[in-house]
Amino acid sequence: MPLDQKPASDKNDLPLMTMEEGIVLFHPHMPERGAEYVAHTLGTRWIGQGPKVDAFEREFRARLRQAGPCLAVGSGTDALHLAYLLAGIGPGDEVATPLFTCTATNLPLLYIGAIPRFVDVDPVTLNISVEDLARKVGPKTKAIVVVHYGGLPCDMDEIHAIARRWGIPVIEDAAHALGGAYDGKPVGALSEFTMYSFQAIKHLTTGDGGLLTFKDASLEPLARRLRWFGIDREDKQKGIWENDIREVGYKYQMTDIGAALGLAGLEELDRTLAHRKALYRRYVERLKGCPGLRIVDDFDPRKEHAAWLFSILAERRRDLQLKLRERRIESGQTHYRNDRYSVFGQSGHFPNMDKVDDAYLILPLHTKIGIAEVDTICDVIREGW
């Protein structure tokens, strides 16, 4: 297959476009010094987990004002799996978790043998509904998982109040929310556990990768052992080869190749975030009040949106998508309600999700487009469909 061949879309029947053909929905952000840092790493002794991973963790913690230890891993999914283990979630435990999210939020719970208890969406934000959460959490609930959909922080005060009432931890899936904030505090400094994803099209990429941060620093040695087979790497590197393995660890670590790209991305993260947030604001300016659509945002002043996705709820969504496509503009859905996947074996009553299911639509937002492209997209939408 030629190197630049387009992959087939599995999301809908509209094939993916190239950048030459129009305005694409997603595009990876390659930092200016990414290739240089990766090439340098390839010439060193460490291409697996080594000093670049350590440097990435230190830099990430400092730049993003994280509250506790930061552990770089192979994917956001790895980070969630580790978080669930560290939170003590085990077989048969119930976990209150979003219905509307990437399946990666919920699949690691099945791996552990835990039971995801799906919570309906808030129809304004597509985040977890606080009202439904309050109904679903009970004495059997071991933890609450929330996802900041698109980068818009959830109602954290209300969620923490429910968690406190039941004495259970909150695990934030911040795969979309790098650079978001709530009540002046950065995401990652709010709850017991927060995970990030550095998958290809996220704000910051390491090819694939993720990071887990947690407030309880006493968990760090266990977290580091679990990340690497259950082995204490420091002891091992001191030459103590007989060190025991007491926990079932796995291979969750990031590589120095990925970390090199991540370090280059961190250097320009402020610029990346500023760009994305400017595009987000422009969409809001141009589309607020536009007939036939509603912006997915509650504009709550406590929340700073991380601008990973710009989403709308559109009347006759399919017609709008087709019109956009005629004008060479991609749009789409990234996630689907998880009760749709038989692996979860769940059906329930989710009236809010039912209302928005045929309406939510994502518009392009990435560093390969600027204000002019956002204006073009908004002009097309404002013509009506």
Ligand X SMILES: Cc1ncc(COP(=O)(O)O)c(C=O)c1O
Give the residue ranges of DSSP H helices in 167-289.
Answer: 220-227, 233-237, 256-267, 269-287
Q: Could you tell me if 96 and 137 are in contact, meaning their C-beta atoms sit under 8 angstroms apart?
A: yes
Per CB under 6 A, the list member of 34, 69, 76, 116 interacting with ligand X is 76
213 binds ligand X (CB under 6 A): no
Nearer to ligand X, 74 or 381 (CB): 74
Per CB under 6 A, the list member of 49, 66, 97, 101 interacting with ligand X is 101
Give me the phi and psi of 211, to 5 degrees please.
Answer: -155, 140
In angstroms, rounded to a whole number, what is the distance separating the alpha carbons of residues 116 and 168? Answer: 15
- Number of residue whose CB is nearest ligand X: 76
Segment interacting with ligand X, rule: CB under 6 A, options 26-34, 152-160, 173-181, 343-351: 173-181
Per CB under 6 A, the list member of 49, 66, 125, 199 interacting with ligand X is 199
In angstroms, rounded to a whole number, what is the distance separating the alpha carbons of residues 319 and 337? Answer: 22
In the complex, the smallest distance separating the C-beta of residue 198 from ligand X, rounded to whole angstroms, is 7
Nearer to ligand X, 123 or 258 (CB): 258
210 binds ligand X (CB under 6 A): yes
Q: Could you tell me if 28 and 200 are in contact, meaning their C-beta atoms sit under 8 angstroms apart?
A: yes
Strands 210-214 and 193-197: what pairing?
antiparallel
173 binds ligand X (CB under 6 A): yes
CB count within 10 Å of CB 168 equals 18
Nearer to ligand X, 151 or 186 (CB): 151
User: Count residues contacting ligand X (CB under 6 A)?
Assistant: 14
Strand ranges inside the chain, DSSP E: 70-73, 94-98, 100-101, 115-119, 141-147, 170-173, 181-182, 185-186, 193-197, 210-214, 293-295, 303-304, 310-314, 336-337, 360-363
In the complex, the smallest distance separating the C-beta of residue 212 from ligand X, rounded to whole angstroms, is 11
In the complex, the smallest distance separating the C-beta of residue 102 from ligand X, rounded to whole angstroms, is 3
Q: Could you tell me if 154 and 298 are in contact, meaning their C-beta atoms sit under 8 angstroms apart?
A: no
Can you spell out the DSSP letters for 78-101? Answer: HHHHHHHHHTT--TT-EEEEESEE
105 binds ligand X (CB under 6 A): yes
365 binds ligand X (CB under 6 A): no
Segment interacting with ligand X, rule: CB under 6 A, options 22-30, 171-179, 261-269, 358-366: 171-179
Nearer to ligand X, 29 or 176 (CB): 176
3-state secondary structure of 191: coil
Nearer to ligand X, 105 or 129 (CB): 105
Residue that is written with structure tokens 């910051």 in the block: 204
106 binds ligand X (CB under 6 A): no
In the complex, the smallest distance separating the C-beta of residue 209 from ligand X, rounded to whole angstroms, is 7
Per CB under 6 A, the list member of 102, 137, 257, 374 interacting with ligand X is 102
In the complex, the smallest distance separating the C-beta of residue 122 from ligand X, rounded to whole angstroms, is 15
Segment interacting with ligand X, rule: CB under 6 A, options 46-54, 98-106, 107-115, 311-319: 98-106
Token readout for 325 is: 């496509």
Strands 115-119 and 310-314: what pairing?
unpaired
34 binds ligand X (CB under 6 A): no
Active-site choice (52, 136, 142, 202): 202
Nearer to ligand X, 350 or 385 (CB): 350
Q: Is 202 a catalytic residue?
A: yes
Token readout for 225 is: 């052992």
Q: Could you tell me if 77 and 304 are in contact, meaning their C-beta atoms sit under 8 angstroms apart?
A: no
Cα angle 308, 277, 21; round to 5:
65
Per CB under 6 A, the list member of 143, 147, 163, 178 interacting with ligand X is 147
In the complex, the smallest distance separating the C-beta of residue 235 from ligand X, rounded to whole angstroms, is 29
Task: List, in sequence order, every residue forming a beta bridge with 303; answer none if it has no partner.
Answer: 182
331 binds ligand X (CB under 6 A): no
Q: Which residues are catalytic?
A: 202
What is the contact surface with ligand X in residues (CB under 6 A)? 75-77, 101-102, 104-105, 147, 173, 175-176, 197, 199, 210
